[in-house]
Amino acid sequence: MGSGNTTLPAADSSAGPANRPPEFAIIPEPVSLLKTSGQFTLPENVIILATPEMKQVVDYLKEKIAVPTGRFVAEYTNTSAPASIRLMLNNKANPQLGTEGYQISITPTLVVIKANKTAGLFYGVQSLLQLFPKEIESKELVEDMTWKIQCVEITDYPKLAWRGLMFDVARHFFTKNEVKQYIDAMVRYKYNLLHLHLTDDEGWRIEIKGLPKLTEVGAWNVKKTGEFGSFSTPGPDEPRTYGGFFTQDDLRELIRYAKDRFVDIMPEIDVPGHSLAAVASYPDLSCTPAAVNYRVRSGEKIMDWSHGAPPIALVDNTLCPANERVYSFLDTVITQVAALFPFEYIHMGGDEAPENFWQKSDAIKALMQREGLRDMKQVQGYFEKRVQKIVESKGKKFMGWDEIMNSDIPASAGIMSWRSSQFGIEASHLKHEVVMAPQTNVYLDLMQGDVITEPKVYNSVRLPKAYEFDPVPAGADPKYIRGGQANLWTEQIYNIRQAEYMTWPRGYAIAESVWSPKEKKNWTNFIGKMEVHFKRMDIAETKYAPSIYDPIFKASRSADRQVMVELITDIDGLDIYYSFDNSFPDRFYPKYTEKLLVPKDASLMRVITYRGNKPIGRMITISVDELNKRAGKR
């Protein structure tokens, strides 16, 4: 049962049935892969032939091989040594490969990876590891394994230079080791940019010397559990001990760790909105006198979104564009951020800034009169242009969310297009560098299964929708599309296991969208590969969401106003079994074949999906009250 609402590439007949794994399960799909005859067997003593400048690639590969296989792995620079794996940099650059492309040639006696640059060798290693049996992902010795690889020839290079994941460490704090864990998972899929969202209403996560309250006050709130955004307002006596921050040394260590895996880290300081943690630390950054009583947000409601964007703020979570103290504060922050992070861009936010407190501010009114600003969009535009100058004065490029285009922001500002691809298309024609991150395809905090199976948020991005992501959409000027990125906001994500669950497998889909040629994308083949990678992640102990196996419940009413339920799945080849009698169905229960009439006195429906005679989905329970609600009025 297909979902019937998704346009995807036609199935590749070579992929075979959805439940038979493809012979090669490399994610993202390589540019070209040719199967050749024979198999390479990893010898007892593995010799890697490499040169000193390849050290970080060799160290990574040695550990990945030695731990699960127990093989002795040595490294030589002597070209006459009898190598098992040879890493080579091309004497004359192969223009097709660029800086991140690679070629792999596997014969029965030798694995050769060639590239123009060491980054290409690293991505070649990722593909090589994916050719090994899944047990190569083990963190401990695997006994009685034969480590064989099918002989192949691969040529591969990325479609786009910027292949990013954003990790929000502000809403909930994630430790240095947890961020490393996230990096380790993303590099398997050839992501090369980690965007760290370091500041928000719920926490300021970066040490700034000379501004100690940012981390003494701004990094801590009250621990709450439940549905973020609807928590009760913390009382004055509730302990503010939940949170944390990165010291500058922590960040240097993370930057080094990422760089060793060919990942750049882009910092984000989100201003002028999303700034309650900064305002609670230094109330004089606000336009609003009441800010002296503000506390760092713990998840209570602070915005009214019922009228759309911009929201009506219940507390003023903005920095004041009319306050010179704000610009000296930001100069201090940006000076230290620029010195810490080698990456060329600093992201300065700019999204969802409410206007209602600015509209009441005498200081803002005076600024508008002095600068000839007509409305609040121009007030924010004035702020953004000043911040851009500060960033550029530190030798960095300025980037913001697409709202910064509401004023005539100079073309040197990078645009991260999140509200829809249309803003990125427009920005590309205005000659801004653009990173595509449209919420409709790549927001990893959104639900990926039926609403009853997920922490409830305002929308869904199911796996087919993530796989549809086109980072260079029709109508854009491709010359200005730097790349694409998926964003993991963490309001409803309390720990690293849930962060992983929300990232994978949608992260596989987006990796393929930003790396692989469009014509190589194939939904049927991708699903087969995804299932192979689920098994690999089981061994690596990385969490992922099995939501693709669970049905969506669609309710309607019959002609006589009774509730009907339709079950929709995103992949073919699944059987759904159900019960209405409060028991737990298995494959000996009724099988779903068409829309069902819900029995008059039933209170629960339970379903489970099978492939053949094995359960593959989760046991899901939905109340008849919920189905009634979805079906609408009687």
What pLDDT is attached to residue 220?
98
User: What are 189-199's pLDDT values in tens digits?
Assistant: 999 999 999 99
Q: What is the mean pLDDT of residues 155-184?
A: 98
Rounded Cα distance between 8 and 29, Å, is 16
Rounded Cα distance between 278 and 285, Å, is 8
- Take residue 227 and report the two structure tokens written for it: 């549905």
What pLDDT is attached to residue 78?
75
pTM: 0.95
What pLDDT is attached to residue 6?
36
Report the interhelical angle of 248-259 vs 324-340 (nearest 10°): 50
Q: What is the DSSP letter of 612?
A: T
- CATH number of the domain that 568 lies in? 2.60.40
Residue 117 lies in a domain: yes
Q: Long-range contact list for 505-508, CB < 8 A, 24+ apart? A: 505/463, 505/530, 505/533, 505/534, 505/544, 505/545, 505/548, 506/442, 506/444, 506/448, 506/461, 506/463, 506/466, 506/545, 507/165, 507/185, 507/186, 507/189, 507/191, 507/444, 508/27, 508/28, 508/189, 508/533
User: What are 240-273's pLDDT values in tens digits?
Assistant: 999 999 999 999 999 999 999 999 999 999 999 9
Rounded Cα distance between 425 and 132, Å, is 40
Q: What is the mean pLDDT of residues 598-627?
A: 96
Shared-domain flag, residues 186 and 333: yes
Residue 24 lies in a domain: no
In 494-550, DSSP assigns E strands to none
Residue 458 lies in a domain: yes
- State the total domains in the chain: 3
Residue 10 lies in a domain: no
Return the H-helix or E-strand segment holding 397: strand 397-401
Total residues found in the chain within this entry: 634
User: What are 367-412's pLDDT values in tens digits?
Assistant: 999 999 999 999 999 999 999 999 999 999 999 999 999 889 999 9
pLDDT band at 19 (very low <50, low <70, confident <90, very high): low
What pLDDT is attached to residue 308?
87
Rounded Cα distance between 396 and 388, Å, is 9
User: What are 594-612's pLDDT values in tens digits?
Assistant: 999 999 999 999 999 999 9
Please state whether 228 falls in left (phi above 0), alpha (psi between -120 and 50) or beta.
beta
Shared-domain flag, residues 574 and 534: no
Shared-domain flag, residues 532 and 408: yes
- CATH number of the domain that 472 lies in? 3.20.20.80
Q: What is the mean pLDDT of residues 463-489?
A: 98
Q: What is the mean pLDDT of residues 43-67?
A: 95
Per DSSP, what are the bridge partners of residue 231? 300
Q: What is the DSSP letter of 253?
A: H
Q: What is the mean pLDDT of residues 303-323?
A: 94
Shared-domain flag, residues 626 and 515: no
Burial status of residue 492 (CB atoms within 10 A of its CB: 0-12, 13-18, 19 or more):
buried
Rounded Cα distance between 318 and 274, Å, is 7
- CATH number of the domain that 88 lies in? 3.30.379.10
Q: What is the mean pLDDT of residues 6-15?
A: 36
Contact between 11 and 40 (Cβ < 8 Å): no
Domain containing 184 equals 162-540
pLDDT band at 1 (very low <50, low <70, confident <90, very high): very low
Q: What is the mean pLDDT of residues 522-547?
A: 97
Q: Which domain-ending residue is among 156, 183, 213? A: 156
Shared-domain flag, residues 431 and 569: no
User: What are 392-404's pLDDT values in tens digits?
Assistant: 999 999 999 999 9
Shared-domain flag, residues 223 and 255: yes
Is the alpha carbon torsion for 144, 150, 156, 159 positive or negative? negative
* Residue predicted with more confidence, 4 or 140: 140
Shared-domain flag, residues 503 and 621: no
Q: Which domain-ending residue is among 123, 156, 189? A: 156
Residue 41: CA count within 13 A, CB half-sphere: 4
Return the H-helix or E-strand segment holding 340: helix 324-340
- Take residue 423 and report the two structure tokens written for it: 């803003």
What pLDDT is attached to residue 333?
98
> To the nearest whole percent, how much of the chain has pLDDT over 90?
93
